[in-house]
Amino acid sequence: MDSESKLPGRVVVREVGLRDGLQSIARTLPTADKRSWLRAAHAVGLREVEVGSFVPARYLPQLADTAELVAFARTLPDLCVSVLVPNLRGAEAALASGAHAMIVPLSASAAHSQANLRKTPDAVVAEIGRMRALRDASGSTTLLEGGISTAFGCTLQGAVAPAEVLRLVQALLDVGVDRISLADTVGYADPLAVRRLFAQVRELAGDRLWAAHFHDTRGLGLANVFAALQEGVARFDASLGGIGGCPHAPGASGNVATEDLAWLLRSMGIDTGLDLPALLALRAQLVRWLPDEPLHGALWRAGLPRTLAPQPEVPA
Amino acid sequence: MDSESKLPGRVVVREVGLRDGLQSIARTLPTADKRSWLRAAHAVGLREVEVGSFVPARYLPQLADTAELVAFARTLPDLCVSVLVPNLRGAEAALASGAHAMIVPLSASAAHSQANLRKTPDAVVAEIGRMRALRDASGSTTLLEGGISTAFGCTLQGAVAPAEVLRLVQALLDVGVDRISLADTVGYADPLAVRRLFAQVRELAGDRLWAAHFHDTRGLGLANVFAALQEGVARFDASLGGIGGCPHAPGASGNVATEDLAWLLRSMGIDTGLDLPALLALRAQLVRWLPDEPLHGALWRAGLPRTLAPQPEVPA
């Protein structure tokens, strides 16, 4: 058991269902329901939430209330409020909203970058450099996070070379991002690739290596989480009920389900501050909010096992 | 990446759907369909299959054709044919059938042992000792495998102490089993517990530690497989389409799905000899054989990724 000592004692789960999940669903969840979701997410112990995306409403009408949600989420104590921004205009909106962090996606796949943003990866890096300058000029404390997507492969391009991911990590560090995250956007990662790449990125980025974002498209989501934990990664994105798929693989399940991730961590005695029964109750509420959407995950079906000891910490 | 060197280069997947899967399904799959399944399983590259169970037909009418299936499976080249046996009478039938291996379940949970077999774990160990004597007296080469179930916890009893599992491992070795396997019968295992327990059992059993049998009840099945791989375990049970649940958790998904396990291994470059597209086609056939049964697994929805390189070995 050579890796046990590396496992973090505490892990932060970042809920991304309100952004990554809802953007892939045709219906627009009313703002009032999103506020209820945020309030409940905070109550179950979540302390980082990605609440939306500053993209033009004509592209993602589901997320048009992002500024309003940031304002509401900032009223919840000790909640780190993130938003996704695709470009400099989005960054301006994020800074104006008072979000604590803005996450900028950068495709390691050149083909995906063109298809998604009509820019090369290096053009995106340059834009992120301009966001850093904008943030500094504004005097804002909003953190700047580069989120490298398709880091393990791409539906359009196929293989993505780890060397290219590492080159982009260095480029992001050079333009001054505060944090770097890696995303397996289309479910191509495997546990060995995860261990190798995160170990290499850690060498370059040190403490600026922030979160891992895994999709469960082919069932390997939690195995990949365990692999990343063994490399000391201590922050994971997840979405309630596993909502949020890949637009290139219709019907494929999307993000790792928050409740399953919480269970994986809890089962190994890793502190998340999350109240699992309350999290399952919130998932049941999501079913009512999104009655026609297929949700994912496994824990909700079987429930918590009898061996579950009392929570080490129950959030207030 | 401290553990990579430990990962086995080749792993054997043992298909248990015909026993563990079908016994949990009310309908009886006709023998002709089971023969087709076996033939196709062999064709996709599976070389170990558990074909049934020698229990009285009044308990499990779904498996009443086990002797006939052993005879058929033995005609398929290089296929190791296993059966489950619950007691000495079952062992007699297994020896008479010519099965290559007989697997005897032994609950590490005293409560589960009583509920399932109306015997204490130690009484089962004693019975296994008598099976060894019977096998030796018969001159048969059928291997004797002790399968320790509820090794990570039990729905009835709750926690199962690792020390009790280790005690039973030693007791099984003492009565002369050829192989020992560990099963997480109800989906209570977590990756850390898997690494710890398999490492300890390896110390005791050495090469007689044989297979790991994980259920995906709460979504941790493949994460547990990855954990066991890191302890050098190189043989895993799985069932096509993830059929085979836990009778104490209705609707909960059961065994790790063969096709998802094969994908996990393939994604890490571990040789299984399995033809993945053919395995997915066989899963599609299982849907037609069991039209009303909910199947499980993730790979079938998303399909194989574009990055999949040609198979290192395509079975004939």
Residues of B in contact with A222 (CB under 8 A): 219-220, 222-223
A21-31 pLDDT, tens digit per residue, is 999 898 999 99
Which pLDDT value is given to residue B312?
Answer: 45
The A residues from 94 to 153 touching B (CB cutoff 8 Å) are 153
Summarize the confidence of residues A67-83 as an average pLDDT. Answer: 98
pLDDT of residue A316 exceeding 50, the answer is: no
Inform me whether the pLDDT recorded for A195 exceeds 50: yes
- pLDDT of res. B244: 87
pLDDT at site B252: 59
Residue A247 above 70 pLDDT?
A: no
B259 touching chain A per CB within 8 A: no
Cβ of A305 and B260 within 8 Å? no
The tokens for B193 are 């517990």
Average pLDDT over residues A185-190: 92
User: In degrees rounded to 5, what are phi and psi of residue A181?
Assistant: -125, 155
**Inter-chain residue contact B297 with A253, CB threshold 8 Å:** no
The pLDDT value recorded for residue B133 is 98
A183 touches chain B (CB under 8 A): no
Closest-CA residue to A36 (of A88, A81, A72, A3): A72
Judge whether residue B53 has pLDDT over 60. yes
Contacts of A298 in chain B (CB under 8 A): 216-219, 253
pLDDT higher than threshold 80 for residue B108:
yes
pLDDT score for B155 = 86
Most confidently modeled range among A125-134, B4-13, B286-295: A125-134
Identified catalytic residue from B103, B246, B265, B282: B246
For residue B305, the model assigns a pLDDT of 85
Burial of A175 from C-beta contacts in 10 A (0-12 / 13-18 / 19+) = middle
* Residue type for position A150: T
Q: For residue A310, what pLDDT is reported? A: 53
Question: What is the pLDDT at residue A117?
Answer: 85
Reduced 3-state DSSP string for chain A: CCCHHHCCCECEEEECHHHHHHHHCCCCCCHHHHHHHHHHHHHHCCCEEEEEECCCCCCCHHHCCHHHHHHHHCCCCCCEEEEECCCHHHHHHHHHHCCCEEEEEEECCHHHHHHHHCCCHHHHHHHHHHHHHHHHHHCCCCEEEEEEECECEECCCECCCHHHHHHHHHHHHHCCCCEEEEEECCCCCCHHHHHHHHHHHHHHHHHHEEEEEEECCCCCHHHHHHHHHHCCCCEEEEEHHHCCCCCCCCCCCCECEHHHHHHHHHHCCCECCCCHHHHHHHHHHHHHHCCCCCCCCCHHHHCCCCCCCCCCCCCC
HSE of B129 in the Cβ direction (CA atoms, 13 Å)?
13
pLDDT band at A250 (very low <50, low <70, confident <90, very high): low
Q: Cβ of A222 and B217 within 8 Å?
A: no
For residues B197 and A312, the answer to whether their CB atoms sit within 8 Å is: no
At residue A285, what is the residue type?
Answer: Q
The whole-number pLDDT of residue A315 equals 41
B221 forms beta bridges with none
Residue B251 has what pLDDT? 54
Task: State the pLDDT confidence band at B117, using cuts at 50, 70 and 90.
Answer: confident
Catalytic residue flag (residue B80): no
Amino acid at A65: D
The pair of structure tokens assigned to B272 is 């299984």
Please give the share of chain B, as a percent, with pLDDT higher than 90: 84
Q: Which of A125-129, B55-59, B166-170, B248-252 has the lowest mean pLDDT?
A: B248-252
The catalytic residue among A22, A29, A131, A246 is: A246
Instruction: Tell me the pLDDT tens digit for each residue of B74-106.
Output: 999 999 999 999 999 999 999 999 999 999 999
ipTM rounded to 2 decimals? 0.93
- The Cα–Cα gap between A199 and B117 comes to 48
Q: How many residues does chain A have?
A: 316
Confidence band for A312, pLDDT divided at 50, 70 and 90: very low
Q: What percent of chain B has pLDDT over 70?
A: 93
Whole-number Å distance between alpha carbons of B237 and B195: 17
Q: Residue window 21-80, chain B: list those with CB within 8 Å of chain A.
A: none
Residue B1 has pLDDT above 70, yes or no: no
Render pLDDT for A256-303 as a digit per residue (tens, 0 to 9).
999 999 999 999 999 999 999 999 999 999 999 999 888 999 999 889
What pLDDT shows up at residue A206?
A: 97
Across the interface, of A193, A219, A268, the residue whose CB is closest to B190 is A268
**Burial letters A210-220, b for 16+ CB under 10 A, else e:** bbbbbbbbbbb
Average pLDDT estimate for B220-234: 98
pLDDT higher than threshold 90 for residue B157: no
Q: Which domains does chain A have, with CATH numbers?
A: 4-302 (3.20.20.70)
Nearest CA to A82 among A37, A175, A18?
A: A18
